[in-house]
């Protein structure tokens, strides 16, 4: 059984055909089979070069090369270099052994998958009969034997999601700790004393974010009332608040 | 007449998966070119008479302008018996949800289960207790002292869990069960 | 033997309604007192042989530890024609490989599957869980306590197997693996 083939046609070059692999082990198995050798006798240097060549072609074709392929590329290089080095005394183990064992296991997985595919093929056209008898209740029932913990946790998630939909969390209102009126008076006092007051630095250094917001509203209110003007030389620079000389109309201050 | 038998078998296979009544026209269309309507009607008669013989629990009936396979009325008692038997080996969606709430929130009271599920779950909880998946474990010391429910030892055995801490976490469910939207 | 024929008809009616495989135990329970297991098995054989005759589009099959009525594969074309788009989606090569690992190594964890296949298989496992071919069966008591997966009853039905022992043996699989290595 050959892996499915993907054809990619370039505008100038002849079309390149590269099999689709299920992972690095699948690619390695393919290369070993092309060499017509047993996996127990892999010509590692040649296979290593062909593996890297295959990765290069995959990249050329813009196929996504998963990280697992690179891990095996590095491993193959390591085995290749170990084989080139003289063996130490007492070191009997073939550096290829672990790779060979994994390939052998994977070969079995592929054979088992082919067996399953064969079984499924025999089942084509075999459908369960559905007689015109309504189930006792309209509800879907699950065979207890196949109900697993995942089904259970999924059911909980469904319950919680439905609960949240039916009981949306109510909006939490913070108690009012700062009033705009209080901050207007405070700011007015500050600009009267300093003439050119660095508003932005003041806002950014408040420990409480709610206080900064209230202060900003107060600064805007002061300008609306004509008691102060704000200016900034360039974007993000300091904003200065200066008094216009108009007194604060105390009666216009609502109890905000 | 092997040809008629073949056509009859095909007709029966289609009726067996259809569930609802199938019109002769639809059967003629499925039979393909060169098969006449009269021939399909002969095949239906073949299927009908085959099931009239002793030992068949099935019959072919003509309803709502079409043909369908149905069980013989003599076996209604046996069917009810079977459906009852099957129900004991199955969990309804409601039972699964209730079991999930008890498993993850135990010990938990019926009002708490009802609140989370949004429906009264007393009958479902009773079924779960009868099936030994859930047990009573005392009373909650609040107004009304409601019963507390928790999962049983059988529950752990059925789900292959060493203890309750082995239940999947929300992260694991996200990773493996994926989005429920994927399902049709 | 009118009595056996009557029991066979009842068995057939139950199987027709069940759709899913029914165990002999369930059929014995439904048959009521005084009906022995051997007699029910005789009745099943009666139903099976009756459907082997010409003109039947359905057959009795032994899958997932029980018996069920299913259509004969000969009529795949007609069923596809009639059911149209409702045909089952096919399993990808990745799904078959992952299923093979789970079927032969069960219960098995995701890291073990990843190691054997050489690629991360979480998305494939998710698909198999969604298609109900695979279920979780507890946790492995190792570092990280990963979830354990096994094949489901639906898996046996899908592949037409009476039970897991009906899978090709590891020796048979090994032989195939050896053969495919010789001829590339």
CB pair distance less than 8 Å for C9 and B47: no
Q: Phi and psi of A35, rounded to 5°?
A: -75, -10
The distance of C30 to chain B (nearest Cα, Å) reads: 6
Q: Which domain holds residue C159?
A: 93-181
Show the tokens assigned to A78: 């390591």
State the DSSP H helix or E strand holding residue A122, giving kind and residue range, or none if neither.
Answer: helix A97-122
Same domain? C97 vs C177: yes
Q: Is A149 in the B-facing interface, judged by CB distances under 8 Å? A: yes
**Token pair recorded at residue A75:** 């491993």
CB B164 within 8 A of CB B103: yes
The last residue of one of the domains, among B23, B51, B81, is: B81
Give me the long-range contacts of B130-138 (CB less than 8 A, separation at least 24): B131/B88, B133/B99, B133/B158, B134/B99, B134/B102, B137/B106, B137/B107, B138/B107
Is A180-252 assigned to CATH 3.40.140.10? no
Q: What is the C-alpha to C-alpha distance for residues C5 and B55, in angstroms, rounded to an integer?
A: 4
In this predicted complex, what is the ipTM?
Answer: 0.82
Q: List B residues 33-92 in contact with A (Cβ-Cβ < 8 A).
A: 58, 68-71, 79, 83, 86-87, 89-92
B119–chain A nearest CA distance, Å: 11
Interface partners of chain A (CB pairs < 8 Å, 3 or more) are B, C
**Strand C66-71 with B134-139, pairing:** unpaired
Higher pLDDT, A249 or A44: A44
| Residues of chain C with C-beta less than 8 angstroms from the C-beta of B172 | 147
End-to-end CA distance of chain A: 79
Q: Is residue C140 part of a domain?
A: yes
CB contact under 8 A, B47 and C69: no
Rounded CA-CA distance B109/B93 in Å is 20
Same domain, B69 and B132: no
Report the phi/psi class of residue A77: left, alpha or beta, with left for phi > 0 and alpha for psi in -120 to 50.
alpha
Please state the rounded mean pLDDT for residues B120-126. Answer: 95
CATH number for the domain that contains residue B16: 1.10.10.10
Digit-coded pLDDT (tens) for C11-51: 999 999 998 899 999 999 999 888 999 999 999 999 999 99
C-alpha span between A8 and A118 (Å, rounded)? 30
Mean pLDDT of A138-149: 78
What are the chain B neighbours of A156 within 8 Å (beta carbons)?
97, 100-101, 103-104
A127 shares contact with chain B (CB less than 8 Å): yes
The Cα B146–Cα B77 span in angstroms is 40
Confidence label for A71 from pLDDT (cuts 50, 70 and 90): very high
Instruction: Give how far A136 is from chain B: nearest CA, Å.
Output: 7
- Whether the per-residue pLDDT at A159 is higher than 60: the answer is yes
Ordered alpha helix ranges (H), chain C = 2-18, 24-31, 37-52, 76-83, 93-105, 110-117, 122-130, 153-158, 170-182
Give A-chain residues touching C70 at CB under 8 angstroms.
126-129
**Over the stretch A92-121, which tens digit does the pLDDT of each residue have?**
678 889 999 999 999 999 999 999 999 998
Given a contact cutoff of 8 angstroms between Cβ atoms, the answer to whether A173 and A209 are in contact is: no
Q: What is the mean pLDDT of chain A?
A: 82
Tell me: do C106 and C163 sit in the same domain.
yes
Helix (H, G, I), strand (E, B) or coil at B68: strand
Question: Is B87 within a domain?
Answer: no
For residues B5 and B12, give the distance between their C-alpha atoms in angstroms, rounded to a whole number.
Answer: 10
* Helix, coil or strand: residue A240: strand
Domain total in chain B: 2
Crossing angle for the helix pair C37-52 and C24-31, to the nearest 10 degrees = 110
Between B101, B115, B161, which is nearest A149 by CB? B161
Cβ–Cβ of B99/A155 closer than 8 Å?
A: yes
Other CB atoms within 10 Å distance of the CB of residue B61: 14
Task: Examine the fold and report which residue of B81, B101, B118 is the final residue of a domain before the chain moves on.
Answer: B81
pTM: 0.77
What is the C-alpha to C-alpha distance for residues B157 and B139, in angstroms, rounded to an integer? 25
Mutation site, B51, B69, B90, interface A, largest A CB count within 10 A: B90
Clarify whether residues C54 and C105 are in a common domain. Answer: no
Q: Kindly state whether residues B97 and B77 are assigned to the same domain.
A: no
């Amino acid at each position: 059984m050959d892996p499915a083939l993907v054809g990619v046609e370039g505008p100038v070059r002849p079309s390149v055909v590269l099999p689709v692999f299920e992972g690095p082990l699948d690619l390695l198995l393919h290369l070993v089979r092309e060499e017509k050798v047993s996996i127990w006798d892999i010509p590692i240097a040649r296979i290593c070069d062909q593996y890297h060549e295959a990765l290069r072609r995959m990249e050329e074709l813009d196929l996504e090369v998963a990280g697992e392929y690179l891990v095996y590329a590095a491993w193959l290089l390591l085995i290749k270099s170990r084989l080139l080095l003289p063996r130490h005394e007492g070191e009997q183990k073939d550096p290829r052994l672990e790779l060979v064992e994994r390939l052998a296991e994977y070969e079995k997985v592929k054979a088992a998958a082919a067996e399953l595919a064969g079984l499924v093929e025999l089942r084509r056209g075999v459908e369960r009969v559905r007689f015109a008898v309504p189930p006792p209740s309209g509800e879907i029932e699950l065979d207890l034997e196949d109900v697993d913990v995942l089904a259970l946790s999924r059911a909980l998630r469904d319950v919680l999601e439905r609960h949240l939909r039916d009981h949306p969390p109510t909006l939490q209102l913070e108690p009012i700790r700062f009033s705009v009126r209080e901050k207007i008076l405070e700011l007015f006092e500050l600009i009267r004393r300093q003439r050119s007051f660095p508003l932005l630095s003041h806002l950014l250094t408040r420990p409480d974010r709610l206080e900064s917001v209230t202060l900003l509203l107060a600064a805007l209110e002061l300008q609306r009332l004509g008691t102060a003007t704000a200016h900034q030389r360039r974007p993000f620079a300091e904003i200065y608040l200066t008094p216009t000389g108009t007194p604060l109309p105390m009666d216009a201050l609502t109890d905000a | 007449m092997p040809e008629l038998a073949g056509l009859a078998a095909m007709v029966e296979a289609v009726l067996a998966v259809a569930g609802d009544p199938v019109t002769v026209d639809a059967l003629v269309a499925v039979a393909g070119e060169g098969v006449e309507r009269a021939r399909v009607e002969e095949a239906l008669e073949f299927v009908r008479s085959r099931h009239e013989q002793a030992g068949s629990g099935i019959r072919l009936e003509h309803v709502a302008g079409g043909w369908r396979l149905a069980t013989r009325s003599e076996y209604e008692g046996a069917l009810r018996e079977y459906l009852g038997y099957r129900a004991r080996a199955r969990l309804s969606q409601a039972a699964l949800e209730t079991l999930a709430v008890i498993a993850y929130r135990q010990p938990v009271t019926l009002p708490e289960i009802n609140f989370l599920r949004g429906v009264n779950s007393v009958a479902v909880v009773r079924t779960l207790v009868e099936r030994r998946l859930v047990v009573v474990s005392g009373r909650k010391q609040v107004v009304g002292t409601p019963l507390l429910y928790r999962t049983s030892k059988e529950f752990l055995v059925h789900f292959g869990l060493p203890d309750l801490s082995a239940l999947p976490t929300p992260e694991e469910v996200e990773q493996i069960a994926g989005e429920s939207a994927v399902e049709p």
